[in-house]
Amino acid sequence: MRPFSYTKARVIEDARQITADESAMAIAGGTNLLDLMKLQVETPHKLADINRIGFDEIKKTADGGLSIGALATNTATAVHPRVRSDYPVLARAILSGATQQLRNKATNGGNLCQRTRCFYFTNIDQPCNKREPGSGCGAIDGIAKLHAVLGASDQCIATYPGDMAVALSALDAQVHIATAGGSERTVPVRDFHCLPGDTPWRDNVLEDGEIITAITLPAPVGGTQIYRKVRERSSYAFALVSIAAIVEMKDGLFSRADLAFGGLAHKPWHDLRIAEALIGQPPTAQTFDKAADILLEIARGYGENDFKIPLARRTLHAVLEHAAEEAA
Amino acid sequence: MTVHFKQDKPEQSNRLDGMKQGVLGKGVSRLEGLAKVTGTAPYAAEYPVEGCAEGVLVTSTITRGEVVGLDKDAVLAMPGVLAVIDDSRLTTRPAQGTANEAPKQGPKTISYWGQPIALVVAETFEQARDAAKHLTVKYREEEGAPVDPQAVETEEKDGTVRQGDLAHAMAEAAHSVDVTFTTRGHASAAMEPHAAIAEWDGDKLTVHASLQMLNYNISELADALGVEEDDVRLISRFVGGGFGSKLGISEEVVAAAIAAKDLARPVRVVMSRQQVFQCIMRRSETTQRLRLAADEDGKLTGFGHHAVVSNLPGEVFAEPVLQSSHFLYSGENRELMLEVARIHRMTAGSVRAPGEAVGMPALEGAMDVLAEKVGIDPVELRLKNIPEQDPEEGLPFSSNKLAECLKQGAEAFGWDSGPRKPRQHQDGEWWVGTGMASAARAHSISEARAKVTLKSDGTALVETDMTDIGTGTYTILAQIAGEMLGLEPNKVLVELGDTRHPRGSGSGGSWGAASTGSAVYVACKAIREDLAARVGVEETALELSQGKTSAGKSLIDLLGGEDIAREGHYEPGDIKDDYTAAGFGAFFAQVRVNRYTGETRVDRMLGAFGFGRVLNHKTARSQCLGGITWSIGVALTEALEFDPRDGHLVNCDLAEYHVPVNRDVPELDVLMVEERDAAASPIQAKGIGELGMCGGAAAIANAIYNASGARIFDYPMTPDHVLKAMPD
Ligand SMILES: Cc1cc2nc3c(=O)[nH]c(=O)nc-3n(C[C@H](O)[C@H](O)[C@H](O)COP(=O)(O)OP(=O)(O)OC[C@H]3O[C@@H](n4cnc5c(N)ncnc54)[C@H](O)[C@@H]3O)c2cc1C
Ligand code: SF4
């Protein structure tokens, strides 16, 4: 860990000012950032502790949706009665992640910004274009079981590891950001994370000095909501593949099918064409296969993670079959 | 006064059964439990030592070569930095268990990625860690170090067995199986990281460390430093798990001692979690070919087990995969061979039940394939092939409860011995099935000493440098002494983990309880002789309980203000050569396999074990539960991943190295089969802890097949493996 200065921000202006500096970072629960600082993967010179700036409420929005504070904890969010009753896919996604102890500390903002678990990213004595642009990618031709099969580039094949954002993507949530200049902007969660392309160091669209203040959910969407996470042990492991699904049936046909996928790419994967292909169709194996074909159209494995392609297809079958049964 | 007992014959008298206190075998809660759960039991790094400087190891970022330069000056200029130490005595690998001499030294020569090459010492831990990361190292790299065990020639280990003609037996067999299993590397994954605090007083060195076998560690450390053993004191009162990784001294102990001498102040060195993973011990991956030849009824006529493991050049240790394969089953035509591939991954050594932990899952997987071919119940197949005596050495078994374990286990589990076909039961998305396997673990016992003092106040003190690695040693030694001397365990104070005490056996290979317990037994027996003389009866007639003789005379009166102290020195003699001794057992498992995702969950599991006398029902059961949990890890989750280019261990923390978590572990049942093994130890006890993981993974693997039809030959059976093998 390198020496750094630490300031408790009292109000959001403090935080914006401190983090406008390129070598400064905000710290919330610290469950991701502190680990990375100990490993010297992150080496901020300044830390702005944002735990006391507010933005930790969960409240109704004017249009009947729900605003979830960026500094509300994962636990507080998952157990909130409105989240549980109206957005169960979100509660389930959060509860499938990490452990109780971590979720008690982890915040929603920090969760969105958590960094990849790529083994080469977290080891500073190995090459990694995300950590050290231009040094190469250790995972390509290395150990890449956890890595992306969609949207990767020849610079980086890392995955975004989180669960919560996958549910948020299915819900089409919005991320509210206070900018360095003091204004606010809103980004759909589906556009919040980036693909690695030629800028693998960029995880998301946040600029220096920007602080996430809240995530808003649309008015309750109803439907059957499922979060399915496939992993190597039954808890405390990141997803190999995960699917958030909000499904409705009418007269034996899909009338709604909002799906998002985790574990496959550098961001929660969402493809509008999947819903289009499902709506109006009966829940048959052919329908599921068509959806999987669309999802996996451009899928490509890197050896070790080839299995994710059939696994994603099979998990999609399971989720759609299950959802159709429940929704019927 | 030392009493020496060398055991050449079985100890049939079963004296402990005739004692009157009635405390041995009872489920006494661990005496140190309260201190542990209240955080008052100090672990190695937690001793408050005034003026302690902090050291952090620097590790290599190449696989093979030389260190040709360290930019010490730049780092010494950093705040708080006191020293950069690259003394040629620094050790670069951990000592193997029972090495009794220094492991490889000389930090300039690098033979694996992540090897310690220097120690940076500073006023604070954070300063030392930062400086360690900043130390610029110049290397002369020797390219092309092999890191893939499949890509190198192998060398054959001594001990190959060729008996009869296996090839012929295979050709002639009514049923034969020829399959190859693989297992991946494992880490001990103890909770407490390796840590040491070293402090010198003139030429006298005291080290607080987290170690399993002080009786060997003291020689290893003295040898590494070039000092006399008498000048070294090692203290290790509580160990937060060792699982093999703390059998020998590791790099932080020697580094702390050297630094403390150089700086003339105490130095603490705590390894990071990543360092523990990357520079302590790995269990070797294995490739194992099993050949089984059987007659029409399933009686084995041929038995072949051939394993390839790996280690660094120069390491003597080779994962003893075949240990129990030598004697578990009959079959007159035999071929057993172990080979080692020399590669530049970190040191391979003892990790949780070395040998059988991976050998048994392969053997028992092959037996399941054979049972299916023969068309008999897998329990029946095992029962048919239990040999009368060791099929290679011709020695009698000291005691073998395999048949009882199989029968009682099957009964308790509700095993269906009817015809078995895969994919018969479905529960929603899940295929459900059952599987079983035998358990076997060679019994080890070693020399041990312990001093017992019966105090004039009617309490007792037990002293030995034996360690308690979380298994309950404090408690069972108090129970043994209490049983022999007629005292409640809370009247017996047990002092462990300090080389000022007589040399115990150390904890490892599940031999601690039987070995050191026997030393305590020997000492107590001598005290009883003294007491018997005072009462005027034969020792065998002396009945003691609740601090009194059967005639009601109190020990305090008998002692008349004097203490009686005896050092017990137990040594296994001819029993070691005259018998084949092992713990045996059987596992039964019900699992569910998801037909879409290949995820496997264990529904329930039962282990039935025969491991001699049970000293404490509760701690014994806990050992079994832990062992079965490890079995789940071997079967489903645990695998070290090594970079294919530089051989470094990539998944080096507890988030990414997957030991089973609570939710992976269902209700487990443990059945302890009554046994007294007179040739195993004078207290008729054998090892327990490791047996629970010696074969259990195969019960799960066989259940995966029975549930889903996926016959998998690669452990662990993660969803990717299951999906590949699962029929449509
Ligand atoms: C062992 C382990 C297992 C885990 N398993 C899972 C899992 O299975 N699924 C899963 O989804 N997650 C998992 N996690 C990740 C966990 O969910 C995240 O660490 C956590 O959500 C991060 O939140 P935090 O508040 O602690 O963030 P911090 O560590 O404080 O911050 C993380 C990053 O976010 C930035 N940041 C924080 N808040 C804001 C804000 N308001 N605006 C802008 N930037 C901000 C910080 O600058 C930093 O870069 C796991 C973590 C660990 C350690
Ligand atoms: S996959 Fe991305 S994060 Fe991983 S090593 Fe390559 S560049 Fe770095």
Contacting residues of A for B129, CB less than 8 Å apart: 1, 38
% of residues, chain B, pLDDT over 90 = 99
pLDDT per position as a tens digit, B111-144: 999 999 999 999 999 999 999 999 999 999 999 9
Judge whether B169 lies within some domain.
no
Q: Which residue has the tokens 């020849």?
A: A154
A295 phi/psi in degrees, rounded to 5: -55, -45
As a whole number, mean pLDDT of residues B367-393 equals: 98
Q: How many Cα atoms sit within 13 Å of B604 on the Cβ side?
A: 8
Q: Would you call A236 an interface residue with chain B, using a CB distance cutoff of 8 Å?
A: yes
Judge whether A311 lies within some domain.
yes
Confidence band for A2, pLDDT divided at 50, 70 and 90:
confident
Query: Which residues touch B3 (CB under 8 Å, ≥6 apart)?
Result: B522, B523, B525, B526, B566, B567, B568, B569
Q: Are residues B11 and B49 in the same domain?
A: no
Single-letter amino acid code for the residue at B342: R
Of residues B644, B650, B660, nearest to A233 (C-beta): B660
Judge whether A290 lies within some domain.
yes
Total beta-carbon pairs less than 8 A apart between chain A and chain B: 93
Q: How far is A119 from chain B (nearest CA, A)?
A: 6
Helix (H, G, I), strand (E, B) or coil at B277: helix
Confidence band for B510, pLDDT divided at 50, 70 and 90:
confident
Domain that holds residue A284: 224-327
Query: Which residues touch B575 (CB under 8 Å, ≥6 apart)?
Result: B7, B8, B9, B10, B398, B581, B679, B680
Judge whether A276 lies within some domain.
yes
Among the listed residues B235, B281, B278, B241, the one whose alpha carbon sits nearest the alpha carbon of residue B256: B235
Q: Kindly provide the b/e burial profile for residues B106-145, where b requires at least 16 CB atoms within 10 angstroms of the residue's own CB.
A: ebbebbbbbbbbbbbbbeebbbbbbbbbbbebebeeeeeb
pLDDT per position as a tens digit, B654-687: 999 999 999 999 999 999 999 999 999 999 999 9
Helix (H, G, I), strand (E, B) or coil at B380: helix
Q: Measured in angstroms, how far is the CA atom of residue A34 from the centroid of ligand 1?
A: 10
What CATH code is carried by the domain that includes residue A281?
A: 3.30.390.50
Judge if ipTM > 0.90: yes
pLDDT per position as a tens digit, A251-281: 999 999 999 999 999 999 999 999 999 999 9
Judge whether B336 lies within some domain.
no
Of residues B597, B636, B648, nearest to A230 (C-beta): B597
Judge whether B293 lies within some domain.
no
What CATH code is carried by the domain that includes residue B565?
A: 3.30.365.10
Q: How many domains does chain A have?
A: 1
Q: Are residues B94 and B224 in the same domain?
A: yes
Judge whether B298 lies within some domain.
no
pLDDT for residue B215: 97
Q: Would you call B148 an interface residue with chain A, using a CB distance cutoff of 8 Å?
A: no
Q: Would you call A34 an interface residue with chain B, using a CB distance cutoff of 8 Å?
A: no
Question: What is the C-alpha separation between B354 and A140, in angstroms, rounded?
Answer: 33
Judge whether A233 lies within some domain.
yes
pLDDT per position as a tens digit, B577-633: 999 999 999 999 999 999 999 999 999 999 999 999 999 999 999 999 999 999 999
pLDDT per position as a tens digit, B215-239: 999 999 999 999 999 999 999 999 9
Judge whether B216 lies within some domain.
yes
Q: How many Cα atoms sit within 13 Å of A123 on the Cβ side?
A: 26
Determine the angle formed by the axes of helices B251-263 and B214-225, rounding to 10 degrees.
Answer: 50
Judge whether A67 lies within some domain.
no
Q: Measured in angstroms, how far is the CA atom of residue A190 from the centroid of ligand 1?
A: 18
Chain A residues 238-277 with CB within 8 Å of chain B: 240-241
pLDDT per position as a tens digit, A152-176: 999 999 999 999 999 999 999 999 9
Judge whether A34 lies within some domain.
no
The tokens for B670 are 């443990």
Question: What is the C-alpha separation between B242 and B487, in angstroms, rounded?
Answer: 31
Judge whether A80 lies within some domain.
no
Q: Are residues B427 and B569 in the same domain?
A: no
Q: Would you call A137 an interface residue with chain B, using a CB distance cutoff of 8 Å?
A: no
The tokens for B166 are 């296996």
Question: What is the C-alpha separation between B66 and B60, in angstroms, rounded?
Answer: 10
The minimum-distance atom of ligand 2 relative to the CA of A142 is 5
Of residues A1, A40, A311, nearest to B723 (C-beta): A311
A158: Cβ below 6 Å to ligand 2? yes
**Closest residue of chain B to A143, computed from CA coordinates:** B643
Q: Measured in angstroms, how far is the CA atom of residue A114 from the centroid of ligand 2?
A: 15
Q: Are residues B383 and B493 in the same domain?
A: no
Question: What is the C-alpha separation between B303 and B165, in angstroms, rounded?
Answer: 10
Contacting residues of A for B645, CB less than 8 Å apart: 141-142
Q: Are residues B119 and B193 in the same domain?
A: yes
Choose one of B526, B555, B573: the last residue of a domain: B573
Judge whether A205 lies within some domain.
no
User: Which-ligand-closest: CA of A134?
Assistant: 2
Judge whether B176 lies within some domain.
no
A108: Cβ below 6 Å to ligand 2? no
Q: Are residues B97 and B235 in the same domain?
A: yes
Chain B residues 103-122 with CB within 8 Å of chain A: none
A169: Cβ below 6 Å to ligand 2? no
Contacting residues of B for A120, CB less than 8 Å apart: 650
As a whole number, mean pLDDT of residues B435-443 equals: 98
Judge whether B476 lies within some domain.
yes
A262: Cβ below 6 Å to ligand 1? no
Q: Would you call B491 an interface residue with chain A, using a CB distance cutoff of 8 Å?
A: no
Judge whether B286 lies within some domain.
no
Q: Are residues B133 and B65 in the same domain?
A: yes
Q: Would you call A105 an interface residue with chain B, using a CB distance cutoff of 8 Å?
A: no
Q: Are residues B468 and B438 in the same domain?
A: no
- Across the interface, whether the CB atoms of B660 and A145 are under 8 A apart is answered no
As a whole number, mean pLDDT of residues B464-479 equals: 96
Q: Are residues B253 and B380 in the same domain?
A: no
The minimum-distance atom of ligand 2 relative to the CA of A148 is 1
Domain that holds residue B247: 44-144+188-279
Q: Are residues B678 and B622 in the same domain?
A: yes
pLDDT for residue A101: 97
Contacting residues of B for A4, CB less than 8 Å apart: none
Choose one of B544, B573, B602: the last residue of a domain: B573
pTM over 0.95: yes
pLDDT per position as a tens digit, A40-88: 999 999 999 999 999 999 999 999 999 999 999 999 999 999 999 999 9
pLDDT for residue B410: 98
> Left (φ > 0), alpha (ψ -120 to 50) or beta: where does B45 sit?
alpha
Q: Are residues B382 and B455 in the same domain?
A: no
Q: How many domains does chain B have?
A: 3
Contacting residues of A for B727, CB less than 8 Å apart: none
Q: Which DSSP symbol is given to B693?
A: G
Question: What is the C-alpha separation between B604 and B696, in angstroms, rounded?
Answer: 12
- Across the interface, whether the CB atoms of B650 and A307 are under 8 A apart is answered no
Are A187 and A294 in contact by the 8 Å Cβ rule? The answer is no
The minimum-distance atom of ligand 1 relative to the CA of A71 is 41
* Active site positions of B, annotated: 690
A209: Cβ below 6 Å to ligand 1? no
Instruction: Report how far apart, in Å, the C-alpha atoms of B12 and of each of B7, B9, B15, B17, B679 are.
Output: 12, 9, 8, 11, 8
Contacting residues of B for A318, CB less than 8 Å apart: 429, 594, 596-597
pLDDT per position as a tens digit, B388-407: 999 999 999 999 999 999 99
Q: Are residues B236 and B138 in the same domain?
A: yes
pLDDT for residue B344: 98
- Across the interface, whether the CB atoms of A307 and B719 are under 8 A apart is answered yes
Question: What is the C-alpha separation between A6 and A27, in angstroms, rounded?
Answer: 10
A238: Cβ below 6 Å to ligand 1? yes
Mutate to test the interface with A, among B137, B427, B599, B601 (most CBs of A within 10 A): B599
Choose one of B573, B602, B618: the last residue of a domain: B573
